[in-house]
Structure 1
């Protein structure tokens, strides 16, 4: 009987190992070609953990079956550091500011933050959330601010001039935004900078409020381009969120309808994001300046979206992050990372922080980048404005 159960476990282990392998490979496949691919990528942390359980179980049992999961886990090891990172070098040096001491050059602090319309509908159940966001942003002294789901209404304090005038010591005097009219105000995306913005533009997507904007910023003597992206949202209804919050393994008609509705919305969002990210990637490929991509991509690090938009860029979390990388506030699943700062390899990543503040359903991401002297100069000298 024990031998029979062990064989059943091996079959289950093989199945889960194959699912993990499919999850690891899923970013290579466009959701338009294989619709199940993004769902496999979404399952990566869960599949990695359950395969790790099998490795431990077979190791304790002294069975060679441990290599079933171990071999596949090794193929996915590169993806693991996109979700969790232990800064071993920092621990060895025991210096809180070790990253900045390693590099010399011009320092740029850049923030990306989905502010969820500054708590317009009281999602945070905190009447001071909007002011809390502004005070928090002001305290960071970031050089470039990239906001998604930005909302401004003329009669409120959260006008477009609120942030430039409210910061110190150097105001963010330069900004660019792309808005649509919504609920008596303007809803969209905005980039603020302490440094002059030389050029700006938008990459528009069809049939959606989501958009990507870019700004060419004069940073010292060099020009850099910052993309601020908000890719396709899932647009769940309140009933969808209520269903997920009270999820039960039942088979009632109502639960089945909700599950189908959630699946169809996720599938549609994956398809739209695959088109949107290809547009952005083509735009980045034509850019002659060092590039930084910020924003809410609405996709995890094991996804087609992440693979395409990262391209040759550096994921700042894998370079300087600490602990778990999650940026979306899901209480029972601390692996949901959908907000990113990706930088040109010319930049050195000194620091990366994700403060856990409660004002939005997203957490902000703050990176400190170092531009070594002369490197960007040689990269874009021909294209610098006269």
Structure 2
């Protein structure tokens, strides 16, 4: 009987722990954060858990050891029951009558100087105008004096009349109706605009769910700081439940063409995403490629989404991961009905 070294046993023990946690995380989209708020925190770490199990699989495979089957089994289960972390192929079709929709959390156009470059705000406008979206949904919008977005129609909703922070939808096509869901006890919100395209009305929701305020540069995982961080995350997830339920009630009555886009402040392995994406198409899953990372965090996190009704044809999806003007990357899709 072959004896294994202590390091071998140590590695397989940790492999087993990470595999078990990943397997457990597959049920998280089906459990409301209101039930056990702490469990919802694991939805943020699923991309990390997938990568760790992938590393273990490769390690054992190189060693030609049967331990590789553990992570392979867990990853295979996830491929069928969960949303993919990585897309290996994409669809890229361009039609003249496509509707180009962009979503971008602009972090207040660098109002608080998170970026050292003082021209960040103008560069964001230049990027948007060069890409020429037909509709753009902006989260963490700031109603700046320098605003220069070359789209004729807009709906801007700030949290109060006095401040300049909020959400905005800009459109190449006329906006005939608009409104706000007005999240209570939150700095976040969701707005919508009904856009007329070729004599058809398309409702666009701009969603910004409760912020979790994750910042890898500032997080301190000491004992007291960790407790505060976990409590903040739990409270944020519970608030997201109320906000998602409000969105679902509002969009239920709109039976025709719709797009839900924005910053969910949560991953595709969460309850919030599962609720909003049910009976819809996810533009990244339909046409994206790669890991779809949309938030500049220490490991891949896709928290910005464009979802459509099932009748829409999604022809293209882009994540602009070279545009580092915010803590989020802009995303854009081409849609056709």
**Structure 1 unmatched ranges of 5 or more:** 91-97, 249-254, 372-386
1:132 to 103, 123, 127: 123
For the pair 1:176 / 2:155, whether they are aligned, the reply is yes
Q: Does the Cα contact within 8 Å between 1:110 and 1:368 map onto a contact in 2?
A: yes
2:171 to 193, 199, 202: 193
Counterpart Cα distance in 2 of 1:187 and 1:9: 49
**Aligned residue number for residue 157 of structure 1:** 146
User: 3-state SS of the aligned residue for 2:268?
Assistant: coil
2:97 to 93, 99, 106: 106
**Aligned residue number for residue 364 of structure 1:** 330
CA distance 1:62–1:133, shift in 2 (3 Å): closer
For the pair 1:261 / 2:228, whether they are aligned, the reply is yes
**Larger helix share, 1 or 2:** 1
Superposition RMSD on alpha carbons, in Å? 2.4
**Aligned residue number for residue 283 of structure 1:** 250
**Aligned residue number for residue 76 of structure 1:** 78
Post-superposition offset of 1:243: 3.9
**Aligned residue number for residue 48 of structure 2:** 46
Q: Deviations over 1:109-143 (max 9, x none)?
A: 01111111111111111110111111111111110
The TM-score, its normalising length taken from structure 2, stands at 0.90
Q: Does the Cα contact within 8 Å between 1:58 and 1:65 map onto a contact in 2?
A: yes
Q: Does the Cα contact within 8 Å between 1:320 and 1:349 map onto a contact in 2?
A: yes
Q: Does the Cα contact within 8 Å between 1:82 and 1:317 map onto a contact in 2?
A: no
Q: Does the Cα contact within 8 Å between 1:54 and 1:69 map onto a contact in 2?
A: yes
Q: Does the Cα contact within 8 Å between 2:58 and 2:68 map onto a contact in 1?
A: yes
Give the length in aligned residue pairs.
334
The TM-score, its normalising length taken from structure 1, stands at 0.79
CA distance 1:242–1:111, shift in 2 (3 Å): closer
Q: Deviations over 1:284-341 (max 9, x none)?
A: 22212211011111101111111111111111111111222111122x32x1111111
Counterpart Cα distance in 1 of 2:55 and 2:146: 52
Q: Does the Cα contact within 8 Å between 1:30 and 1:37 map onto a contact in 2?
A: no
**Aligned residue number for residue 344 of structure 1:** 309
Q: Does the Cα contact within 8 Å between 2:98 and 2:334 map onto a contact in 1?
A: yes
Q: After superposing the two structures, state which structure 1 stretch, 275-284 or 50-59, moved more.
A: 50-59
Counterpart Cα distance in 1 of 2:167 and 2:56: 45
| Aligned positions of 1:1-386 closer than 5 A | 2-3=3-4, 5=6, 9-78=11-80, 82-87=84-89, 98-100=92-94, 106-153=97-144, 156-158=145-147, 162-163=148-149, 167=150, 172-181=151-160, 185-235=163-213, 242-244=217-219, 255-330=222-297, 332-333=298-299, 335-355=300-320, 356-371=322-337
Counterpart Cα distance in 2 of 1:143 and 1:50: 39
Counterpart Cα distance in 2 of 1:243 and 1:261: 13
CA distance 1:7–1:68, shift in 2 (3 Å): same
Q: After superposing the two structures, state which structure 1 stretch, 344-353 or 224-233, moved more.
A: 344-353
Q: Does the Cα contact within 8 Å between 2:110 and 2:326 map onto a contact in 1?
A: yes
Q: Does the Cα contact within 8 Å between 1:146 and 1:295 map onto a contact in 2?
A: yes
Post-superposition offset of 1:9: 4.9
Q: Does the Cα contact within 8 Å between 2:82 and 2:269 map onto a contact in 1?
A: no
Counterpart Cα distance in 1 of 2:36 and 2:251: 26
**Structure 2 unmatched ranges of 5 or more:** none
Counterpart Cα distance in 1 of 2:69 and 2:213: 41
Counterpart Cα distance in 2 of 1:61 and 1:115: 46
Q: Deviations over 1:258-279 (max 9, x none)?
A: 2222211111111111221121
Counterpart Cα distance in 2 of 1:280 and 1:337: 20
